[in-house]
Amino acid sequence: MHSGSINVWSLILEATIVVQLVMLILLLASIISWVMIVQRWLVLNSAEQGMSGFEKRFWSGMDLSQLYREGSDQQKANKPTGGMENIFRAGFKEFMRLRQQGGVNSDGVMAGAQRAMRVAYSREEEKLEKHLPFLATVGSVTPYIGLFGTVIGIMNSFISLAEQSQATLQVVAPGIAEALIATAMGLFAAIPAVVAYNRYSTKVDVIAGNYITFTEEFAGILHRQVASAPATKA
């Protein structure tokens, strides 16, 4: 690197400790937020795919106990099942268990199945929303951290300016450039985080809405079965 010229690297390396610390924090925040962005992208994509695949199978007219058994086989083969399937399995399992137990009326069976599905739903939603608050935090806080670094950097450059008897642009410019790098890094970390947060929270809302819809539909199916079962039994 040339000693006489200014470039980004020399500015970063010659910055004051506080500014360097701010830059380090921002770099870490940016890296971690990108890890989250990529990971959420993978998770939400697979959740979407799993959802559409399962819906297709569910509405194909397949027997529900057959569907449940396929899921059990898949879990035994160490392949985790998707979110919607988990809700179905929780509801169906509870439904069958209550029905086999006997002595529970149809309302009680339905209430039990719905409760189990609500629990599974909230668990799935939690899985989907994991790390999104971190992205929101990065998106809102890193510009401020960058600004802090900038203010400190400009302060330092003005202090050094006060020591000079003659103010030239050369004295001020490196300090301000160095300070502005901190803001640039803050924005660099914040922008993708904000974009990803908005995009992903919409996606999570869509998927969660689908889950709720499915829960209601499945509850309807189970209700039909409950309504028909006492008739066959009696």
Partner 1 sequence: MTAFNGYPFSIMLALLIHGLILGSFLIMGRADSEVLEVVRPPAVKALLVEENPQARNQQVQQQRADQQRQREEQVRQESQRQEQARQEQARQEQARQEQAIQEQAARAEAAQQEQQRQAVLRQQREQQEAEQQREREITRQQEVARQQEAERQQQEAQRQEQQRQADAAAQAAAEASAREQAETESEIIMAYTAVIHDLVQRNWSRPPSARNDMTAVLRIRLVPTGDVVDVEIVRSSGDPAFDRAAETAVRAVGRFSELQGMPPRMFERSFRSLLLTFRPEDLLN
Residues that bind partner 1 (CB under 8 A): 1-2, 4-10, 27, 30-32, 34-39, 42-43, 46, 49-50, 53, 79-83, 127, 165-166, 170, 188
User: Which of 192/225 has CB closer to partner 1?
Assistant: 192
Angle between helices 169-233 and 17-58 (to 10 degrees): 20
How many other C-beta atoms can be found within 10 angstroms of the C-beta atom of residue 25?
Answer: 20
Rounded to whole angstroms, the Cα distance separating 71 from 85 reads 8
Exposed, middle or buried, 215 (CB in 10 Å: 0-12/13-18/19+)?
Answer: buried
Under 8 Å CB-to-CB from 87, ≥6 apart: which residues? 117, 120, 121, 124, 211, 214, 215, 218
Q: How far is the CB of 145 from partner 1 (least distance, A)?
A: 17
Q: How far is the CB of 202 from partner 1 (least distance, A)?
A: 20
Q: How far is the CB of 5 from partner 1 (least distance, A)?
A: 4
Q: How far is the CB of 34 from partner 1 (least distance, A)?
A: 3
